Structure 1
Amino acid sequence: METKAASRNFVADWPTLLQVWRHDLGGITIGQVALAGLILALALAARRLVGRILLTILRRWTIGDKTPAGENILAALAAPLRFVPILIALFVITAFLDLPAGAKDVLADITRSLVAATFFWALFTIVDPAFSLLHGDRSIFNEAMVGWAVRVSRIVLLSLGAAVVLEIWGIHVGPILAGLGLVGVAVALGAQDLFKNLIAGIFIIGEQRFQTRDWIRVDGVVEGTVETIGLRTTKVRRFDMAPVFVPNSKLADNALTNFSQMTSRRISWTIGLEYSATVDQLRDVRDGIEALIRNNPDFAAPPDAPLFVRIADFGGSSIDLMLYCFTRSTDWGEWLRIREALVLEIKALVEKVGTGFAFPSQSIYVESWPAGEEAYPLPRDASAAGAPQKPVTAPAKPTPGASVAEG
């Protein structure tokens, strides 16, 4: 009985429900609003599924490209592709909604704007993985050039995307650019340093003066490791780990030393040997050091790099031996290890030969000595001291020409 009563009530209320369903709200019925919400909800639910399907189709079109760059491009397109169902839903909603002409045009402009934004969004996301394909040819495109190309391409895409969206809404970009050109002349006069640094950055990249992770030095400006080559400034990390942001014009106009482009790393020493060393000992030390270097694969031998081990000079306290050679490794830590090993080997060699290393010393030659005895120290006044003191006799006079050495 209750079921029959409910059925009779539903039949009786059906005309009322239809009236509410067809009720007009600003030209749109509640039924259309509900259907539009349902379509949009289905589009949101199908985002991931549609994205996977579209990625699968793109993989087939690329004939199964399995390179890391290709996979990165497809992965970057995943987010824009997941937005495609929402665009389709908006087109469908715009088509069936019975809107006034003005409102329908606004909704259509919104849909077209989202389509343009999604298109440029997809291009923006694939810029980085697409330009990573150029990393393979280091002779033409270094890492800094690729980084600049990525940044400039993204700025261009953002500008074009914004211009397209503005044109959709009836805002013409041409007159705006013309007006900005007049303002740009005035701005350029006050931003000469900015444009100077931008042009200097282009020259730095084009000339390939340095790349990221290079060790550079500009006298009076900075010394450290390059981290980022920007459009206006370059970030250099000093060896005390403090970052320095240097204007590009400073790096372009001054002499710059790039230590990372060294083919070998130099060791230049002056080794002082004792004057008491014989000629044979000097020759043994010289020949032994040269043999140590030539037989060590850590060192570059002629003709790859110069090698000189020579008795060079008579120093003030030593006979000087010049050592000039190059290590194959340019890494600072490895160079320190090779240098330390060479020091220990030279020390052992000099001791084995039987001579030693000289140290700074000074010799005083006494030409004459006063005649007679002298009290040393001088006696004090007897009355002041309270008792007479016996003078101390000075040591015997040395022979003129004798030397007294001071270490």
Structure 2
Amino acid sequence: MMQTFEEFWALVVDVWQQGVFGADVGHFITALGIFLAFFLLRGLVTRFILYEIKVVTARTHTPIDDDLVVALEGPIRFTFIILGLFFGGEFLRLEETPAVLADNLFRSLVTFNIFWLLFRLVQPLSHLFTPLEELFSPELVEWLLKILKGLIALIGGAAVLEIWGIKVGPMLAGLGIVGAAVALGAQDLFKNLIGGMLVLAEKRFRVGDWILVDGIVEGTVEKIGFRSTMVRRFDKAPVQVPNAEFADKPVTNFSEMTHRRIYWKIGVEYGTRIDQLREIRDGIEAYVLGEDAFAKPPEVATFVRIDSFNASSIDIMLYCFTRTTVWGEWLAIKEQLAYRIKQIVEEAGTGFAFPSQSIYVESLPSAPGDPAEADQDGPEPFTPPED
């Protein structure tokens, strides 16, 4: 029994001394302690130093420093993880294959952290692209930032693959062949992508605009994506419109209106005299030209004219523009205009016409037994005999 226990203890000592990858268990425990020390230091730095920096930046008037601190927080915290792994690995003094694997791992983590930092810095530094919004549009600048983020991620991934001996060049050549085949089957996707770029480059519309795409949708633009644009209809239903539709069909952007039009045909009775017509026309014109809510010539065209003789009315054309383009305000102005026109027509002593028809009958048939019927040429009416 004693000999068996001695053999077991010898096995434990051998495992303790040999450990894993040529390092004894004691070294592994020490390396783990080094890692935990850096992990605790990471928490202290985050809790005290970064917190104090956030307090200082919160007192400034610019949001750039606040965004920078938020962007740097993640990579800084991850740096302590890398340091803990690196110093712990150095203490183990690995050799041969384990040493190569550990070296590649540390290089990969450092590369990942650098490109992660660059990726997160794109958004805070986007304030530097603000002057470009005047040349292009905010949506196009946002697209450029997304493309920049994508390039950073791709380059970072390629750098990590190169560390592990994976050649990116042959992979890209192979992807080029596959991409050509995929492109043939994804023509609509690229067409939508190009359509979205044209929309942003030409500034046809932007987020928040009220647009009409003939035969497709009318509503407010909420999001312009790479493949499609989300337009929310006035019944609050969202519609995803492929960007290619904006390149193939005419798009009306009502948000770009400088004024809003009122175009009415006002029909008055045919019994209206000429002096009454003049009074009505002059009264409406004086109201439109005298109210500040309406734009005046030569800024816009304004007409109040006796226009045509309709089937049941004499039509007066009213063509004018309001200064506001807001729908609710425009409706209120139209309402007041309608009240005033009705008052003008009533004060002129006439009324509004409504659709009507007149039927003219040249003669009516006579009743049976009417003496006038006997004077008419034609056969006598048949009277059946009485029983």
Normalised-by-shorter TM-score class:
0.7 to 0.9
Residues in 2 aligned to 1:38 and 1:371: alpha-carbon distance in whole angstroms: 121
What residue is the counterpart of 1:186 in the other structure? 181
Quickly say closer, same or farther: Cα 1:132–1:354, change in 2 above 3 A.
farther
Deviations 1:116-149 (A, max 9, x none): 2122222222323332553465432322202211
Q: Quote the Cα distance in structure 2 between the aligned partners of 1:362 and 1:219.
A: 38
Q: Structure 2 matches for 1:19-58, cutoff 5 A?
A: 23-26=17-20, 27-51=22-46, 53=49
Residue 226 of structure 1, CA deviation: 1.7
Counterpart position of 1:390: none
Of 114, 125, 134, 1:139 maps to: 134
Following TM superposition, by how much is the alpha carbon of 1:324 offset from its aligned partner in structure 2, in angstroms? Answer: 0.8
Partner in structure 1 of residue 278 of structure 2: 283
Instruction: Give the letter for the 1:179 counterpart.
Output: G
Give 3-state SS (helix, strand or coil) of 2:122's partner: helix
Hey, what does 1:254 align to over in structure 2?
Answer: 249
Give deviations 1:252-278, integer Å, cap 9, x for gaps: 122211111111111111011122323
Alignment match of 2:201 (pick from 202, 206, 210): 206
Aligned with 1:359 (options 354, 357, 361)? 354
Map 1:162-241; keep pairs closer than 5 Å.
162-241=157-236
Q: Is the Cα contact below 8 Å between 1:270 and 1:323 reproduced in 2?
A: yes
Residue 210 of structure 1 deviates from its aligned partner by: 1.2
- What is the aligned-residue identity percentage? 49
1:133–1:339 CA distance, 2 compared to 1 (3 A): farther
Give the 3 Å change call, closer, same or farther, for CA 99–23 of structure 1 in structure 2: same
When structure 1 is superposed on structure 2, of 260-269 and 187-196 the one drifting more is 187-196
- Please name the residue that 1:316 is paired with: 311
Letter of the 1:237 counterpart: R
Partner SS for 1:117: helix
SS at the partner of 2:221?
strand
Report what 1:105 is aligned to: 100
- In the alignment, residue 95 of structure 1 is paired with which amino acid? E
Alpha-carbon offset, residue 86 of structure 1: 1.4
Contact 2:136 2:203 in 1 (8 A): no
Change (3 A) 1:371 1:54: closer
1:180-214 per-position Cα deviation (integer Å, ceiling 9, x unaligned): 11222222222222222222222221111111121
Give the direction of change, closer, same or farther, for the CA distance of 1:193–1:358 in structure 2 (3 Å limit).
Answer: same
- The answer for the alignment partner of 1:76 in structure 2 is 71
For the residues of structure 2 that align with 1:375 and 1:296, how far apart are their CA atoms?
70
Tell me, in whole angstroms, the C-alpha distance in 1 between the residues paired with 2:256 and 2:98: 65
Kindly indicate whether the alpha-carbon contact (under 8 Å) linking 1:235 and 1:244 is maintained by their aligned counterparts in 2: yes
Q: Deviations over 1:11-54 (max 9, x none)?
A: xxxxx9xx799733122233322222222222222224434646
- For residues 44-93 of structure 1, the C-alpha deviation after alignment (integer angstroms, 9 at most, x for no partner) is 22224434646878999x9x974123422332222222222112222212
Write the distance in 2 (CA, Å) between the matches of 1:87 and 1:231: 36
Structure 2 residue corresponding to 1:369, chosen from 338, 345, 363: 363
Q: What are the superposed Cα offsets for residues 224-282 of structure 1, whole Å, 9 maximum, x if unpaired?
A: 22222221222222223222222222211222111111111111110111223233332
Report what 1:401 is aligned to: none
Deviation at 1:291, TM superposition (A): 2.4
The CA deviation string for residues 328-350 of structure 1, in whole angstroms up to 9 with x for no partner, is 22222222222222222222332
Q: Is the 8 A contact 1:217 1:258 kept in 2?
A: yes
Q: How many residues align?
A: 360
Q: 1:140 to 1:371 in 2, by over 3 A?
A: closer
**2 CA distance for matches of 1:65 and 1:133?**
18
> 2:306·2:315 contact (CA, 8 Å) conserved in 1?
yes
- The AA in structure 1 aligned to 2:94 is L
| Residue from 103, 109, 112 that aligns with 1:117 | 112
Cα distance in 1 for partners of 2:128, 2:60 equals: 13
Q: Mark the runs of 5 or more structure 2 residues left unpaired by the alignment.
A: 1-9, 371-382
Query: Offset of 1:306 from its aligned partner?
Result: 1.5
Query: Could you tell which deviates more after superposition, 94-103 or 321-330?
Result: 94-103
Unaligned runs of 5+ in 1: 1-15, 377-381, 384-407
8 Å CA contact 1:235, 1:246 repeated in 2: yes
Alignment of 1:262-301 (within 5 A): 262-301=257-296
Whole-Å Cα distance in 2 between the matches of residues 134 and 289 of structure 1? 52
Which residue in the other structure is 1:304 paired with?
299
TM-score (norm 1): 0.79
1-structure distance, mates of 2:369, 2:107: 114
Between stretches 128-137 and 309-318, larger displacement belongs to: 128-137
Q: Is the CA contact (8 Å cut-off) linking 2:133 and 2:141 kept in structure 1?
A: no
Letter of the 1:43 partner, please give it.
F
